[in-house]
């Protein structure tokens, strides 16, 4: 018999509110360590540790490398670092992004499943897209406990719903019931059940912890070439066997939803760049038209006028498309230097 001594939590959009509600209900004598990943921008800072420290009875702080997993403490991921679980300690890794995120929820969940198995409780909270779903499958396969915020209670239900597409959770509750539930689960004796850490989960855990794919694992043997490029590095993606996920040679990972979203962003940037170039072409052609008029060269004047008109008309078509929100629905304007 053992106790569930590790709680790993994933959240994204709307997750701060859910985390505060969860932390407020945790008991002061919680006999488990709590590790939290909230999607963060790589170049930013995070006040989440301070926020959660003030939200409940347990101390919370940003993760430190090789810190002991102490019961009754909350450890929060740092920007631009995966938060992982090693042999009883935290591991901070600058490994490849997963679905564009570092820290990534799947990376934490997968490492916890491998290190703690049936002693792990995974918690999926509010967020968009589907980071965390594959990691929660790994926790379940390792005999861990799956807890999901009720999608009807989440500000953004997509991440909880993503887990529900693959698993029947052990507990489906609103955020304000999570703290007491986790306190109860952590104090129960639990027998070791069948634990299955797949070859794929082992490979992906190693990649997140050790960096690129130079870990002795052959990703090509774990799937087949997908025919798509990686949005992060343009490398060929491998469709991982029996999953809806992809990885490239250097280790960037993508879920199907995140890959589609990233492709939309890349397409939109290309369209904005094309729109800008057409506007510049039209402007330059008008300048050439004026120069030809001043030089009294009618044929050249007509040719440049036609070029200016065609470029302006094409630019207007692109502008209307982009401002309509289709495709995709989010508008991302490129910097001039980036687009050049």
Q: Give yes or no for a contact between 177 and 198, defined as CB atoms under 8 angstroms apart.
A: no
**How far, in Å, are 82, 162, 284, 313, 336 from residue 287 at the CA level?**
53, 54, 5, 17, 21
Task: Report the alpha-carbon distance of residue 90 to residue 87 in Å, rounded.
Answer: 8
Residue 109: closest CA among 78, 145, 79, 80? 145
Looking up tokens 């129960």 gives 188
Q: Annotated catalytic residue: which of 82, 93, 130, 131?
A: 131
Q: What is the widest separation between alpha-carbon atoms in the chain?
A: 95
209 phi/psi in degrees, rounded to 5 = -85, -40
**How far, in Å, are 215, 229, 236 from residue 218 at the CA level?**
9, 18, 14
Q: Give yes or no for a contact between 120 and 4, defined as CB atoms under 8 angstroms apart.
A: yes
Q: Note if 39 is an active site residue.
A: yes
Q: Give yes or no for a contact between 210 and 95, defined as CB atoms under 8 angstroms apart.
A: yes
H helix or E strand, kind and range, residue 24: helix 15-24
Task: Report the alpha-carbon distance of residue 233 to residue 248 in Å, rounded.
Answer: 8
User: Contacts from 237-243 at CB under 8 Å and sequence distance 24+?
Assistant: 240/200, 241/200, 243/134, 243/200
**How far, in Å, are 18, 92, 160, 200 from residue 145 at the CA level?**
19, 24, 15, 20
Q: Note if 81 is an active site residue.
A: no
Looking up tokens 């170039």 gives 277
Would you please indicate which residues are annotated as catalytic (active-site) residues?
12, 39, 131
């Amino acid at each position: 018999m053992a106790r569930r001594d590790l709680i790993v939590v994933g959240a994204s959009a709307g997750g701060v509110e859910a985390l505060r509600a969860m932390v407020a209900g945790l008991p002061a004598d919680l006999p488990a360590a709590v590790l939290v990943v909230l999607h963060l921008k790589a170049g930013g800072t995070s006040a989440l540790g301070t926020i959660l420290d003030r939200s409940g009875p347990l101390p919370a702080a940003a993760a430190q490398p090789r810190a002991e997993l102490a019961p009754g403490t909350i450890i929060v991921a740092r920007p631009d670092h995966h938060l992982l679980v090693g042999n009883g300690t935290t591991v901070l890794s600058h490994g490849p992004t997963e679905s564009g995120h570092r820290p990534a929820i799947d990376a934490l969940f997968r490492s916890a499943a491998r290190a703690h198995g049936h002693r792990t409780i995974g918690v999926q909270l509010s967020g968009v897209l589907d980071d965390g779903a594959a990691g929660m499958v790994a926790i379940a396969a390792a005999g861990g406990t799956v807890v999901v915020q009720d999608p009807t209670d989440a500000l953004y239900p997509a991440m909880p719903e993503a887990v529900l597409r693959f698993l029947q959770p052990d507990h489906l509750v609103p955020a304000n019931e999570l703290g007491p539930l986790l306190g109860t689960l952590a104090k129960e004796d639990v027998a070791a059940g069948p634990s299955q850490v797949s070859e794929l989960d082992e490979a992906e855990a190693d990649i997140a912890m050790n960096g690129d794919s130079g870990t002795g694992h052959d990703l090509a043997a774990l799937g087949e070439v997908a025919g798509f490029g990686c949005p992060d590095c343009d490398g060929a993606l491998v469709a991982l066997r029996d999953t809806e996920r992809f990885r490239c040679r250097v280790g960037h990972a993508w879920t199907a939803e995140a890959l589609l979203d990233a492709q939309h962003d890349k397409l939109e940037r290309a369209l904005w760049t094309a729109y800008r170039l057409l506007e510049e072409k039209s402007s330059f052609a008008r300048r050439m038209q004026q120069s030809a008029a001043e030089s009294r060269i009618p044929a050249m004047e007509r040719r440049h006028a036609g070029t200016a008109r065609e470029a302006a008309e094409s630019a207007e078509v692109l502008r209307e498309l982009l401002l309509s929100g289709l495709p995709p629905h989010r508008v991302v304007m490129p910097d001039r230097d980036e687009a050049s």
